[in-house]
Each structure stands twice: as C-alpha cells, then as structure tokens.
Amino acid sequence: MTSQQKKIRKMLADKDGILLAHFYVRPEVQEIADVLGDSLVLAQSAASSDAKVIVFAGVHFMAQSAAMLSPQKTILLPRVDAGCPLADMADAASVRKMRMEEPDAVFMSYVNSTAEVKAESDICCTSSNALKIINTLPPGKKVVMLPDGNLARHVVSVTGRQIIAWEGCCPVHQALTVEDVEACKRKYPQAPFAAHPECRQDVLALADLVGSTSAIIRFAHETKANEIIIGTEEGILAELQKHNPGKTFIPASPALVCIDMKKITLDDIERSLDTMQPVITVPRDIALAAKKALDRMLEVS
C-alpha cells in the first residue's frame, strides 16, 4: 500500500467513512476499497452500512442510489462529472410519456438510470438480478425495461417474457463486435468467452457465459480453462488476476474502457475527504419515489 493509500484509509477511519468501489474503477482505487463489487452489491452495502460517510468510487447514478438508500449519511462522489451515457439515454419525461402509452405495463428500470427515471418506475434491477426480478412479476404482465435494450433483449431470450425494450445502450459494451470476439477466438481457440448482458445480442450468442461482473468473476474462478476471453469493461481484469494468478484473461477488445469509470483518482478521493465535497443529494420528492423502486428490488435480491 502506498503512502497516499494509507493516508486515505486513515482519513476514512477518522471520519467514520467507507469507500465503495465498482469493479471498473482504477486498480489503485479498488485496492483500498472497503467494498468492491457490482451495482447490486454496492447498493446493498450502501443501504446496510453503519458508516456516517460513504465515498463512492463509481459513477453518478450509483452515488444517487446510495444517497436515496441512506439519506442520513453523507455521500461523496469525488468527481461529479463521472457520469453514465447509458443512464442519460432515458429521461423522466420520456418515461412518463411511455407510461401513458402502456398504462398496464410494469416499468422496470436498470440501476444504470437517473434518480428521476427510477422515480417513474415500479421496480429496479441490476444485471445480477434482472432474471430473478422479472420472475417475481405477474406472468401475464407486459414489462417495459429501460434504459438498456441489450439487457432487456437478453432477458427476453432467457425467459420468453413479453418485454418492451427501451432503445438505450452502454456505448462501451455496444462497441464490442462479433468480429472482435471471433478474432480473439482464433487466437485463443480453447478459451471460453464470458460476456456482460449489456453487449449486443449477436455477441452474446457467441458467449459461454452471459452474466454480470460478479457472475463473470465466479465463472473465471470455477472454469478449468487457463485462458478466458472477457467481454466487459477492462477494470474487472485487476480483480480477476488478483484471485486467479495462474490464469490469463484476454479483453475481447481494446475498446472496452469506460472513461467515466476511470475518472476518480486517489487524488480526487483524498481531496473529497479533506473538503467533504462534492456531496450527492437527491430532492426529497424524487428520492422518496425512486427509493420505493430500489427497495422493491432489494426486498427480492
């Protein structure tokens, strides 16, 4: 641990704080996190933690969720410009309009959405629990899944449910092509391919495993293969290599890098703890409505 990492850990202890970090953030930030996980684990941790201060190393919608789940805590996001292009592909006004067009549908929002969109939704999901959540909904009910169309289409392919897919996508996962994967498979013919459900359907059709970051980590640990092709953001490689030193992990494309997830540095975290800024808050009316959708998800997760 570097001197700066030690300093940050001491600052967290002094302020009764914890650091929550997503698998996609910088490795040096992952190394000192109290909780390192996917969106579901981080949401659960924010809701259950006794800490007074939560520093979020991730992107804006994650910090918003923490603020809504733990309104009595101080939620710090060291870089407020760490956003999510996928979350920006749905807005509250558009959701309200579709609700008028589909008055009998259940609106299920991916956690990769803004607080305002969650407030217009009935329930939330993550890539880890989307299949579980959909199976808790009445079988005959039409479902609108937003904002990730690829995740929605994956859920349809597995469950056969009647789902209207919102036409949003994660630009990083969407950039992964069949040609990229086939090139990797030619180079590593024995390597299984693990892909995130935010990828295109034709890419997922080539996968040996389709799953969240947590599912990919489990698969990497359990498979007998020594080489695994990874179809998600490259930040996950640090965790994979840490726990599987004898295996080789091959990014399916060099383009699998989320600039927003990489924005938060150790300098940013230190500055944020020093100044106790920027604090993430959500207007009370929006927070109360959005929290209902988040709570419904957590109740069955």
Do residues 78 and 91 both lie within one domain? no
Do residues 265 and 225 both lie within one domain? no
pLDDT the model gives residue 44: 87
Three-state SS letters, the chain: CCHHHHHHHHHHHHCCEEEEEECCCCHHHHCCCCEEECHHHHHHHHHHCCCCEEEEECCHHHHHHHHHHCCCCEEECCCCCCCCCCHHHCCHHHHHHHHHHCCCCEEEEECCCCHHHHHCCCEEECCCCHHHHHCCCCCCCCEEEECEHHHHHHHHHHHCCCEEECCECCHHHHCCCHHHHHHHHHHCCCCCEEECCCCCHHHHCCCCEECCHHHHHHHHHHCCCCEEEEECCCCHHHHHHHHCCCCEEEECCCCCCCCCCCCCCHHHHHHHHHHCCCECCCCHHHHHHHHHHHHHHHHCC
Distance (Å, rounded) from C-alpha 194 to C-alpha 206?
9
Do residues 31 and 59 both lie within one domain? yes
Do residues 68 and 108 both lie within one domain? no
The mean predicted confidence, pLDDT, of the chain is: 96
Q: How many domains does the chain have?
A: 3
**DSSP β-bridge partners for residue 76:** 55, 279
pLDDT the model gives residue 195: 98
Residue 301 lies in a domain: no
Do residues 92 and 125 both lie within one domain? yes
CA-closest candidate to residue 95, choices 109, 83, 78, 76: 109
Residue 292 lies in a domain: no
Residue 256 lies in a domain: no
Contact of 210 with 276, CB cutoff 8 Å = no
pLDDT the model gives residue 300: 85
CB neighbours of residue 88 within 10 Å? 16
The CATH number covering residue 16 comes to: 3.40.50.10800
Do residues 232 and 269 both lie within one domain? no
Residue 275 lies in a domain: yes
pLDDT tens digit sequence for 182-229: 999 999 999 999 999 999 999 999 999 999 999 999 999 999 999 999
Final residue of a structural domain among 150, 169, 188? 169
User: Domain range spanning residue 239?
Assistant: 176-251
Do residues 94 and 164 both lie within one domain? yes
Phi, then psi, of 21 in degrees rounded to 5: -135, 140
Low-confidence stretches of the chain (pLDDT beneath 70): none
